[in-house]
């Protein structure tokens, strides 16, 4: 086991889903359970950042509340770095059901000499599947105090190892690996992907999707040709 901490980011409001998406099933497990299973194969400590105490009880994991509220995932990263047992943490959003333990291990192995390790997929960063160390704490606290909550904005203030697609694709299809579930449409797509993969041979469990909620396309991300912006910065 790696002497580092795996952290599941689960503090989001799931507004576009309409219900708490962490325990919606993809394949035969809830999304958050799928992430926990993969992290437990690598790390000797697995924590949940944000989320409910009930989530912790169901998975048998400690839940860390935000210490500085209102900063979204950046607040969760901060609280987890302060509350974990290890210097370095790999953070994974709870709505990324196709992450795997091999890539998780690779990411933490690339952290020697760096404060952070961040995958780069095309022109986008993946800030919610990344390694952050306690060396980031002071900078994160400064950004939170200034109400600057975009994770990628603090990268220029710390030592970051950006991992390119060339290395990531050795572990899995990148588009599948970084697929995240925000809406009922995403959920159905993820379930189809899991079914096509025939992951376990067992029947695919499906939870009802709320039908009385109107979902809006979040729109395109702002881009800068000089500096890639994160693909997403919320759960």
How far apart CA 178 and CA 99 sit, in angstroms, is 7
What pLDDT was estimated at residue 29?
94
Q: Is 165 helix (H, G, I), strand (E, B) or coil?
A: helix
What pLDDT was estimated at residue 16?
74
Cβ atoms of 93 and 6 within 8 Å: the answer is no
Q: In this structure, is residue 212 part of a structural domain?
A: no
**Within 13 Å of residue 89, how many CA atoms lie on the same side as its CB?**
30
Q: In this structure, is residue 210 part of a structural domain?
A: no
What pLDDT was estimated at residue 219?
32
Per-residue pLDDT reduced to its tens digit, 74-105: 999 999 999 999 999 999 999 999 999 999 99
Q: In this structure, is residue 29 part of a structural domain?
A: yes
Q: In this structure, is residue 105 part of a structural domain?
A: yes
Q: For the domain that residue 32 is a member of, what is the CATH number? A: 3.90.550.10
What pLDDT was estimated at residue 233?
55
Q: In this structure, is residue 19 part of a structural domain?
A: yes
What pLDDT was estimated at residue 176?
93
What pLDDT was estimated at residue 83?
97
Cβ atoms of 50 and 10 within 8 Å: the answer is yes
Where in the sequence is the domain holding 174, given as residue range(s)?
A: 2-197
Residues in the chain with pLDDT values less than 50? 200-231
């Amino acid at each position: 086991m790696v002497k580092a901490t795996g952290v599941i980011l689960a503090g989001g409001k799931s507004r576009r889903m309409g219900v708490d998406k962490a325990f919606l099933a993809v394949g035969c497990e809830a999304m958050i359970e799928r992430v926990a299973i993969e992290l437990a194969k690598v790390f000797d400590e697995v924590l949940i950042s944000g989320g409910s105490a009930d989530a912790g009880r169901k998975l048998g994991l400690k839940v860390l509340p935000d210490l500085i509220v209102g900063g979204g995932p950046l607040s969760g990263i901060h609280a987890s770095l302060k509350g974990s047992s290890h210097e370095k943490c790999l953070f994974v959003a709870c709505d990324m059901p196709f992450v795997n333990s091999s890539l998780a291990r690779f990411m933490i192995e690339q952290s020697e000499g760096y404060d952070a390790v961040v995958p780069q997929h095309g022109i986008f960063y993946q800030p919610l599947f990344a390694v952050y160390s306690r060396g980031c704490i002071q900078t994160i606290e400064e950004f939170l105090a200034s109400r600057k909550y975009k994770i990628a904005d603090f990268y220029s203030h710390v030592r970051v190892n950006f991992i390119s697609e060339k290395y990531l694709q050795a572990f899995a299809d990148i588009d599948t690996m970084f697929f995240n579930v925000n809406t009922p449409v995403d959920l159905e797509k993820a379930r189809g992907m899991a079914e096509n993969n025939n992951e376990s041979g067992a029947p695919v469990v499906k939870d009802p999707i709320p039908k009385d909620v109107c979902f809006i396309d979040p729109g395109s991300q702002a881009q800068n040709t000089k500096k890639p912006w994160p693909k997403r910065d919320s759960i």
